[in-house]
Structure 1
Amino acid sequence: MRKLNAVPTSLILTAVMAATGCAGVSVGSDHIRWTEEVKLSDGSVIQIQRHVELAESGFPVQRRGFNKYYEICYPPMGIHWKSRGGYQPDIFDIVEGKAYMHVPVTSQAECYEQGSPETGAIYFVWENSQWRRIEHDEFPARSEWNLLMSIKAAHGHEKNDPRGIISLEDKELRQTSALLEQKRFGWIRVNESYARRDGCKPYGKGPSWCADAKCTRLRDRPAEPIDIFYTDSSNTCLR
């Protein structure tokens, strides 16, 4: 029997990478931009601009990367929001001329970063052209969940990403599973919903329950909440 010569693994990898156009580079980051209808607590409907950038995802996985940041713009009030991945807002409201943002905090790493807030969320108000963190009782009592949360489609289904104008009706169709969860837990006010479950564990227990790699790196961080905003604050909603 004729013995076949073994082909070095490195040559096989090189050939595959060349064939897929990935030799020496990773799959580039991509952007998801859309305009979204948002129903405010007073019943009025506005349109905001939204943008999410996905990080690079390299060979051999070639799947879509994680969310680098979440960006929201509302030009009529000059509002600009740009938070790091992991801090995705779910409520944007305008009450008595002031804009508010609600951000759920549910993972171990984010809970540890933010001092394990009792409600499992953090709150902000737009003042003097910047966001200021506020307490739970300062957040409008009537504000309800109104932002699209189902954003990134699976690899190979990028056509299902939100594009163009996403109406209120479109959002109902895109967030079926989340709406079912909301009904399951009997949420009445979304800005208090996370407190009805376990939410964040006590901040003082952080080092003992902190298990995943990202959280482990935070064990020596100071007790003050860590800034959630992305380092590059430039407005890229419409680029």
Structure 2
Amino acid sequence: MPAYRATALVDAPVASVAGALRSVDVLRRVHGVDVPARPEGLLQAQDVVRLRGLALRVTRAGLDGMAAQRQSGVRPLTGCTSTLVATGAGVLLTTELRWAAPLGRRGVVGALERWTQAVAAEAVRLRDAREVVAGAVVRQGHLLLARRTWPVALAGRWELPGGGVDEGETPVAALARELEEELGLTVRVDEQLGADVGLPGGRVLRARWAELVEGEPQLREHSAVRWVDAHGLVSADLVPADRAWTAELAARLA
């Protein structure tokens, strides 16, 4: 099938662009696209996205390919390939559709342009959104998970611990503070993990690796904590937003 391409230069981090590609809200804003209505706003393997009569199935390989790297191939949908390239001016997003024939040239070009523009707009929104931080604390090949007690919809599910960034506070300082307040841990906060994740209320969730310096987890705000290996992570009942990083976390643990 013929392929058509559109490009956009986005003044946003690669992690924000990768997060935008993953967002269901982006698809909803593209004319003619119908997506599964899932409150956590994340595509999952085997979701079906419909565009003008075509059913496009999301692949696990496509989702796992969305890790935010300096240059990464991203396949959010079967038949749609996007590439992110970091430049001095921002991120160059190149999107290519290969299911052109059934839609017709005009329909494909229009859908491709709307898709690219929507991703770019969502990336800028994530870049500027109020930030919530989460910490990936790893010790001897095991990741620390904490079980939530609130809100009701998330109670009993496991998460990477963290919290909101206060006014005038840096994300690094906020994560160190939250882990000390919630779990009594002293950590050294490192680089960002994976893509940005859009949250309800216009916020953005970002995870960072955190090296444990001192302390053992204490139950101050959570009902339980546990250290899991890669198998335990995959089988854990994670909060929806944290599932975005499962593949990258499991690879680090392995």
Q: What is the TM-score with the length of structure 1 in the denominator?
A: 0.23
Q: Which structure has the larger Rg?
A: 1
**Greater per-residue strand proportion:** 2
Q: What is the TM-score with the length of structure 2 in the denominator?
A: 0.22
